[in-house]
Amino acid sequence: MRPVETVAIIGAGNMGSGIAQKSAQEEFEVQMVDRELQWVERGQQIIADFLGEAIERRIFREAEVEAIKGRITGVVGTENVASDTDLVIEAVFENFDIKTAVFATLDEVCDEHTILASNTSSLSVNALAEATGRPDRFVGLHFFFHPAKNRLIEIIPAESTSQESLDAVEQYCKTMGKVVIICKDRPGFVVNRFFVPWLNEACLLLKEGVASAAAIDAVAMKAFRIGLGPFALMNLTGPPIALHATDYLAEQLDTPRYTGAQNLRELIAADEQWVIGDDTDCSEETATLISERLLGQIFAVSAQIVEEEICSKEDVDRGAKVGLRWARGPFELANRIGIDNAVRMASAYSELAGFELPEWFAQTSEPLEFNFVDIIIDGEVATIQINRPEAMNALNETLVSQLGAALDEVNALDEISTIILEGAGKAFVAGADVKFFVDKIRADSIQDIYDFTAFGHEVFNKLENSTKTTIALTTGLALGGGLELALACDYRIGTRRSQFRFPETGIGIYPGLGGTQRTPRICGIEAARYAVLAGNFLDANGALALGLLTHLVEPANVRDAVDDLVESGKPANKYPGSPADSTHPAAAFALNFYADKNMAALNSGQCPDGFNVEDRMVGRQLKAMSRAAPIALKMSSELLDAAISTGEDLDAGLALELSKLNDIFATEDALEGLSALIEGRRPTYTNS
């Protein structure tokens, strides 16, 4: 597979400029193309304004913004796209003829290897692919607005798309931190298939005089736990977009129910927006009618999506939560209100819409189960993908159980030589599900936390003791339990997007899934103290120097690095016990500052002799430790020391780590720290 390194975006409007900006942020070289210089300059100004706001909000520094803008080259005319561009994304008007004219030009000017893509929310990808001269190197993309902010992307391969092209485009999207849904080419794809009729159903409720726009919005916001109701959303995105999309679905799916409501047509004809007002009052009976109509529509159409194998039910929910920012997806909502109720509502809507409710959903009587771990086997390599990106792949009971089952399955396959772990979206794994801990502490069920963690140890040991070569693709965030999961693997491959951190002492606990034992065995006691006690953020270079990353590569070279490790097999020494590069500033500082002789002072909150509190690095360590929970610091320090005393007996060290778990979670500081994290405030510790 030839990786994507250079990108061209055709169209410098709001969507095209957003795609160009996001691509440049992730260090792709970008051409932003439009018909006239004025439109290219307008796109550049949109990007400059957006990034200017990011500076004000301290998301980027000025130097970073200049570098981003420097990676974007303005180009006038599609015919002037660089011939050797790896990927060209068309982002012009949603018009088949205009798009195919763009592709005709690109076919002429681009090299044979160039992949063409269309950013479309509705048009047939198969039809577009057939209209190009390279149907095997064509794919549909559906970015969600704003492309630099919204993490969801739908990838729609045509029937003619080669696997190599699909893999390259998927890697490009993942490098940008996108949550990827790969779906079939069906009208509306995934999100618009259920969301657009939902908007139209709200219009029909208003037209029928069921309630005011404000009341319908209010009921919808409560039922779906969303910040804006359907009418406010249409005002934000533009009512004409809703009308065009719903009419298209009505025609393509032969479903008259989706035909744009008359009041929506009249609104657009008058060039107006919805007048929502403050009249949110309606009877309980009316509120029930509104919520059941809207919920029933979502359930029925989502069931169709799964029935037609457009994507999985997990991806339907993912689309709602990531793309639309709903608190729960359609199928999670169905479980929450009760499957019997959900089926009843979906049946009622199906009757209104004139289609049969899919049998698989109509006959469902038990809560739906969701799969968050996928296995992909390619020759001798098994990739286990943790697929819960809407929650940053946080570890909960279900996910850990499914991960354990997946590891059992691949470990039992003789033909598999290598196991790869990766996380969907921008995170590898962003720790454990903190709410689970808080709920269990408040319910006086700390034993459940112990059982969950003990089971986690068992699952991680399936990696530790595997005869296969185990590789963690830590190409995004790896925090807390996620970092501990990665450390159980033989190798950890990272990119410039990799970030590691143990945040536990700052939230009242200690790393309990092997972090206090594997970390010092990998990078030595001093570097482990630097990582665990102060909870220092480690960028890719710092993590590599300490040895927490074993390989640091460019995003385009991740697969090559994997291939090399498949060839070389398991490491000669997984636990060297010292930093990989002791000259790196982070490693050199850790070796000096966190030496044994300084620990008495540090454990008492003092600056060790020979160090100046005014020094930036010293001050940062002391500040971090002063904000940590004292009990958590003490236990962490003791457990790190135990990793040295237990030496090569990792099992003994892990047993000690697990033995202290009830003690730490029984403290008031643990509840305070974990609760503060959920509530978004700074904890106040009492050392109790």
Length of the chain counted residue by residue: 688
Per CATH, the architecture of 6-182 is what? 3-Layer(aba) Sandwich (3.40)
What pLDDT, in 10s, does the model give residues 523-552?
Answer: 999 999 999 999 999 999 999 999 999 999
DSSP string covering 151-164: -EEEEEE-TT--HH
Model confidence at 122, in pLDDT bands (50, 70, 90)?
confident
Task: Give the distance, in angstroms, between the CA of residue 289 and the centroid of all CA atoms in the same chain.
Answer: 35
What pLDDT, in 10s, does the model give residues 18-75?
Answer: 999 999 999 999 999 999 999 999 999 999 999 999 999 999 999 999 999 999 999 9
Distance CA 88, CA 97 (A): 18
Residue 469 has pLDDT above 90, yes or no: yes
Model confidence at 456, in pLDDT bands (50, 70, 90)?
very high
**Token pair in block for residue 556:** 């385009």
Residue 329 has pLDDT above 90, yes or no: yes
pLDDT at 556: 87
pLDDT at 426: 87
Q: Give the long-range contacts of residues 463-467, CB within 8 A, separation 24 or more.
A: 463/407, 463/419, 463/421, 463/488, 463/489, 464/488, 464/650, 466/407, 466/411, 466/419, 467/411
Contact 125, 139 (CB under 8 A): yes
**Token pair in block for residue 461:** 């040991």
- What average pLDDT does range 128-146 have in this prediction? 96
Distance CA 194, CA 331 (A): 12
- What average pLDDT does range 507-516 have in this prediction? 98
Of residues 605 and 488, the one with the higher pLDDT is 488
Query: Which CATH code for domain 373-679?
Result: 3.90.226.10
Of all residues in the chain, what percent carry a pLDDT higher than 90?
A: 97
Residues of each domain in the chain carrying CATH 3.90.226.10: 373-679
Residue 508 has pLDDT above 90, yes or no: yes
DSSP 178: P
**Token pair in block for residue 599:** 């620990």
pLDDT at 185: 97
pLDDT at 29: 97
Q: Which positions ≥6 away from 617 have C-beta within 8 Å?
A: 589, 593
Residues of each domain in the chain carrying CATH 1.10.1040.50: 191-362
What pLDDT, in 10s, does the model give residues 407-455?
Answer: 999 999 999 999 999 999 889 999 999 999 999 999 999 999 999 999 9
CA distances from 138 to 10, 106, 113, 135, 164 (A): 15, 12, 11, 5, 11
Per CATH, the architecture of 191-362 is what? Orthogonal Bundle (1.10)
What pLDDT, in 10s, does the model give residues 566-594?
Answer: 999 999 999 999 999 999 999 999 999 99
- What average pLDDT does range 337-345 have in this prediction? 98
User: Cα(first)–Cα(last) distance of the chain, in Å?
Assistant: 56
Please state the three-class secondary structure of 533-575 as a single string.
CCCCCEEHHHHHHHCCCCEECCHHHHHHHHHHHHHHCCCCCCC
Task: Give the distance, in angstroms, between the CA of residue 281 and the centroid of all CA atoms in the same chain.
Answer: 38
Model confidence at 404, in pLDDT bands (50, 70, 90)?
very high
The widest CA-to-CA distance across the chain, in whole angstroms, is 80
User: E-strand spans in 264-308?
Assistant: none
Residues of each domain in the chain carrying CATH 3.40.50.720: 6-182
pTM for the full model? Answer: 0.92
Please state the three-class secondary structure of 231-265 as a single string.
HHHHHHHCHHHHHHHHHHHHHHCCCHHHCCCHHHH
What pLDDT, in 10s, does the model give residues 637-684?
Answer: 999 999 999 999 999 999 999 999 999 999 999 999 999 999 999 999
Model confidence at 1, in pLDDT bands (50, 70, 90)?
confident
pLDDT at 446: 97
What pLDDT, in 10s, does the model give residues 185-200?
Answer: 999 999 999 999 999 9
Distance CA 61, CA 71 (A): 16
What pLDDT, in 10s, does the model give residues 212-270?
Answer: 999 999 999 999 999 999 999 999 989 999 999 999 999 999 999 999 999 999 999 99
- What average pLDDT does range 82-95 have in this prediction? 96
- What average pLDDT does range 350-376 have in this prediction? 97
